[in-house]
Chains A and B, each alone.
Chain A
């Protein structure tokens, strides 16, 4: 029997999931809430409402590499990131915060949120060390799951975003 190569198998292999097929906004929000209560404080809540636009943004993120590859990015105002750092350090917070303190604490929040997002994804993935600075730009607008929340009246955005460009339309 002659087998005709229709290209179907190759096309199936080209299919890769986008994040909205793997995780929803409610799950990301729930992960963030758990991280906030444990790290920032038991009385601290993330309100599921978008606040004012962030004017002086800073982001912390971790990269996930696996069946889905992308980043889990937290973005807020620089002043809010400092406030988060003080909340995290509690009585150990220094009088004057160093930039390194913010990088360390804000990065650790991304690490905890990112680790739990990774665990909610199918298959085995690896997690990078956290990074802090200007957020990586989303490569594919379809491959983004974003929640906008408010902490102490300030906007905190969490974006689970793919690192790969969209596949060509078939």
Chain B
């Protein structure tokens, strides 16, 4: 399974990618929403996108809206991973097309639990 991790913090990208790779994902990283769209437009369409909210150039909400407007990417599951924890913001992200919402700080178990709920745990993580 493939995952795209979009966050303007390199440290956070490494943390999230490390967790996903530990579960058996193949990952790619992008530093903001526009870079994330570039990855998708290049033909690397993942099963899962983990995207931060507050980023320069293109924020997470704009990315979700843009990704959801392309029917070719409809099968992707989008999970916001962000420190934006206001209820109204969560509602906005879900309304724009995100499937799940993880609030920073999070643990590896929290990510695993969310993926299990979404049916997105790779076979090797279930063994």
The interface of chain A, by Cβ under 8 A from chain B, is: 34-35, 37-39, 85, 88-90, 92, 101, 104-105, 107-108, 111-112, 114-116, 118-119, 124-125, 127-129
Contact = CB atoms under 8 A, between A and B. Distances in A.
B86 A85 contact: no
Contacts, number: 62
Interface in B1-59: 8-12, 14-15, 18, 54-56
B104 interface: yes
Given A107-B9, A115-B83, A125-B86, 13 more contacts: A35-B104, A37-B105, A88-B15, A101-B11, A114-B83, A115-B82, A115-B85, A116-B83, A116-B105, A119-B85, A127-B83, A127-B84, A129-B55
Interface of B: 8-12, 14-15, 18, 54-56, 82-86, 88, 103-107
A92 B9 contact: no
**Chain B contact residues, majority secondary structure:** loop
Contacts of A107: 9
Nearest to B84: A115
Given A116-B83, A124-B88, A129 B54 contact: yes
A92 B82 CA distance: 21
Nearest to B10: A104
